[in-house]
Structure 1
Amino acid sequence: MENHVPHFAVIFTSKRRPQEGDGYPEMAAKMDALAREQPGFLGVDSVSSPVEGTISAITVSYWQDEESIRAWKRNLEHLLAQKRGKENWYLHYEVRVAKVERMYSGDEILE
């Protein structure tokens, strides 16, 4: 991701039950591809891990501004995926929105 400062991060943490054939991986891939097409989308990082019979995950998406985030939240396909997630997949989830004031990578030498 290029250095677009400031920008916003939407931090989505979740816990779900692993269930074969429940359609979750397909929906997650579809939402990832759809988000990448949205105006203001800058990038995404995601990781998941099995924890005591559940899958804990964190996905951080990066957006140019808060209006881009609101537009994504209102996207019809995203709304349907959210509804399905609440009804079928998630035991618990939280969403946090944060403003990123600065960023740097390990490739930079800081003095």
Structure 2
Amino acid sequence: MSSSRFAKTPQPPYYAVIFTSQRTATENDAYGNMAEQMEALAQQQPGFLGAESTRGADGLGITVAYWETEAHIAAWKANADHLAAQRAGAERWYEHYEVRVAKVERAYGKR
């Protein structure tokens, strides 16, 4: 599974929140539903620029969400629905995870 979602290509500088996770062996529809809800909710948040996500057959996944400012990231982290999803992930769906925040100074590629 792999996806990339941008309304338009952002111009640096901006911020990337990199979420790397290892799913538990238990697969269920609740995880997929929650992930879809969080994606839709993130898209409605001020400062959200887009996201890219992939997950391997072994359950290792990486999602990178792009934001205009650190304040926008903090507001998303504090969102009540997102907090509930974070708790559920830690308790039920992830063996382990890491979150990293980086400032993107340069970006280039081929489209």
TM-score of the alignment, normalized to the shorter chain, above 0.5: yes
Q: In 2, Cα distance between the equivalents of 1:3 and 1:29?
A: 23
RMSD, matched Cα: 1.2
Shift of 1:22: 4.9
Q: In 1, Cα distance between the equivalents of 2:45 and 2:66?
A: 11
State the match for 1:91 in structure 2: 95
Q: Which has the larger radius of gyration?
A: 1
Q: Percent identity, aligned pairs only?
A: 53
Q: In 2, Cα distance between the equivalents of 1:29 and 1:38?
A: 15
List runs of 5+ in structure 1 lacking aligned partners.
none
The question of whether the paired residues in 2 share the 8 Å contact of 1:43 and 1:62 is answered with yes
TM-score by length of 1: 0.88
List runs of 5+ in structure 2 lacking aligned partners.
1-7
Could you report, residue by residue, the CA deviation over 1:34-72 in whole angstroms, capped at 9, with x for unpaired residues? 000000000000000122xxx110000000000000000
Matches within 5 A, 1:92-111: 92-107=96-111
Of the three residues 76, 80, 84, the one matched with 2:84 is: 80
Of the three residues 10, 13, 27, the one matched with 1:6 is: 13
TM-score by length of 2: 0.88
Q: Does 1:37 align with 2:37?
A: no
